[in-house]
Amino acid sequence: MQNKAPIRSWLLLTFTLILWGTPAVAVSVSDTQKVPGHAAIAKLIADHLPATTTNHRFDIITPLAVLSSLETCTSIDAHFTRQPQRLAGRTMVELRCTDLAQPTSHYVQINVIATGEYLVASRDLAANHTLQRTDISIQQGDLSQLPRHALLATPNAIAQALGQQLRRSLTQHSVLQANLLSRPNVVNFGDELLIEASGSGFQITRTGEAMDTGAIGDIIRVRLNNKQLLRVEITAAGRARPAQ
């Protein structure tokens, strides 16, 4: 008689591998009124969406049976277990029934699908290129697919990018990222600087030689005429003030 033990073992192993290889499936909620905490989660998401979001929805990943004990709750509080840097993609939410004196936490995984606007290169740009407004375009897409340091299409982000230099070259439609930008140097080693100090009723100016290279806002060393070294903050090309 054929030994069936090896066959049973093989089938068990195959079934286990199939389970491991099956991806998690998002449960899209069609009847939101029947899902405890749905309204609280929706409000939490609406309050934290990226500024340039044009459209969004969310799915509850966690089985809805986990929320069954909240069905009789009239007031549910929702907050993120960890504040997301940019609310798009999967994240965890903690739900609590505030009707109870000692509410129990229910942890729910959600997937936020958010479409929004972000900044991209309008053409191929070389490394060390100083960005101008014509170099920047606005594109719309899935915010969860953006790199971590992507710049969203806000007025502040555009103002931040203008006048900055690229650390590396970019091809057309590449996403602009804050970590790829640097302020251009306006002072080089050996430059003569006008150092201005002012206060209540006085103003003093001196000249010195830059001992470092830097951009506006950088702190560098300057050698004065008497050979003394002074730390200054660059305020413009050829100008600085004593560092605080």
Q: Give 203's pLDDT tier (boundaries 50, 70, 90).
A: confident
What is the span of the domain harbouring residue 149? Answer: 116-182
**Together in a domain, 201 and 126:** no
Q: Which of 76, 94, 114 is the last residue of a domain?
A: 114
Neighbouring CB atoms inside 10 A of 54's CB total 11
The answer to whether residue 32 scores a pLDDT higher than 70 is no
Which one is predicted more confidently, 11 or 50?
50
Domain end among 98, 114, 130: 114
164 near 184, Cβ under 8 Å? yes
- Same domain as 122, residue 108: no
Of 35 and 25, the structure prediction assigns the larger pLDDT to 35
Are 67 and 142 within one domain?
no
Q: Are 89 and 135 in a shared domain? A: no
The span from the CA of 86 to the CA of 115, in Å, is 12
pLDDT at residue 27 is higher than 60: no
Tally the domains of the chain. 3
- Considering the domain architecture, whether residues 225 and 171 belong to the same structural domain is answered as no
**Residue 97 bridge partners (DSSP):** 76
CA distances from 67 to 101, 236, 237, 244 (A): 19, 59, 61, 55
What are 47's two structure tokens?
């309050």
Q: Judge residue 193's burial from the number of C-beta atoms within 10 Å of its C-beta, 0-12 exposed, 13-18 middle, 19 or more buried.
A: buried
- Whether residues 197 and 229 share a domain: the answer is yes
Question: Looking up tokens 């192993």, which residue turns up?
Answer: 13
54 with 92, same domain: the answer is yes
pLDDT, one tens digit per residue, over 119-140 is 999 999 999 999 999 999 999 9
Q: What is the pTM of this model?
A: 0.69
pLDDT band for position 76 (cuts 50, 70, 90): very high
pLDDT single digits (tens) 206-231: 999 999 999 888 999 999 988 899 99
Contact assessment for residue 58 and residue 90, using Cβ atoms and an 8 Å cutoff: no
